[in-house]
Amino acid sequence: MASGAARAAIAGVLLAALWLATRWAVTLP
């Protein structure tokens, strides 16, 4: 269960970072 929670947390953070990076790249230019 701990592994699943860690995996979910990592996936969420990774997804949020990717979304923020994409939004930043689109807003910058």
pLDDT digits (tens, 9 = 90+) for 1-29: 679 999 999 999 999 999 999 999 998 77
Q: What is the pLDDT of residue 28?
A: 78
Whether the predicted model's global pTM rises above the 0.85 cut: no
Q: What is the pLDDT of residue 1?
A: 65
Torsion sign across C-alpha atoms 15, 18, 21, 25: negative
Q: What is the pLDDT of residue 2?
A: 72
Distance CA 24, CA 19 (A): 8
Q: Where are the chain's structural domains?
A: 1-29
